[in-house]
Amino acid sequence: MVRKLKSAKTGGNQMDIVKKAQAMQQEMLKIQEGLKGKEVEASVGGGAVVVKANGQKEVLSVSLSDEIVKEAVEDKEMLEDLILSAVSEVMRQAEELSEKEMSSVTGGMNIPGLF
């Protein structure tokens, strides 16, 4: 009979864990949706290339200065490198923003596959 009581108690704890996980999942979904409206920006080459993205790592815009476009005629590879650098930086910032927002729910735990 003691074993049955322990089983019932364990089952209750498992239900609590499931409920907490479901609540955490709902909160994370709200945060992910909110990240869509938050923007980060990376600028390289003294503002020659500016890339904006949202917190869901979607690139929103790429802006090139007139000067860099003129120089690109002579040095296409330089422009490609600048764009790549700006995109990489804005993705890093978006990842950092996402992790920061999610840590408010996860308590700083890294939970692979959730965000």
Whether 17 is in a domain gets the answer: yes
pTM of the model: 0.71
pLDDT value of position 7: 47
User: Residue 114: inside a domain, yes or no?
Assistant: no
pLDDT of residue 10: 56
Q: What is the pLDDT of residue 110?
A: 58
Q: Please report which residue ranges of the chain form alpha helices under DSSP H.
A: 2-35, 66-74, 76-106
Encode pLDDT of 60-106 as tens digits.
999 999 999 999 889 999 999 999 999 999 999 999 998 888 887 76
In the chain, the number of structural domains is 1
What mean pLDDT comes out for the span 106-111? Answer: 62
Distances (CA, A) of 12 to 7, 16, 17, 100: 9, 6, 9, 32
Host domain of residue 73: 2-106
pLDDT in tens, 24-63: 888 888 888 888 999 999 999 999 999 999 999 999 999 9
Does 63 map to a domain? yes
Residue 112 domain-assigned (yes or no):
no
What CATH number has the domain bearing residue 85?
3.30.1310.10
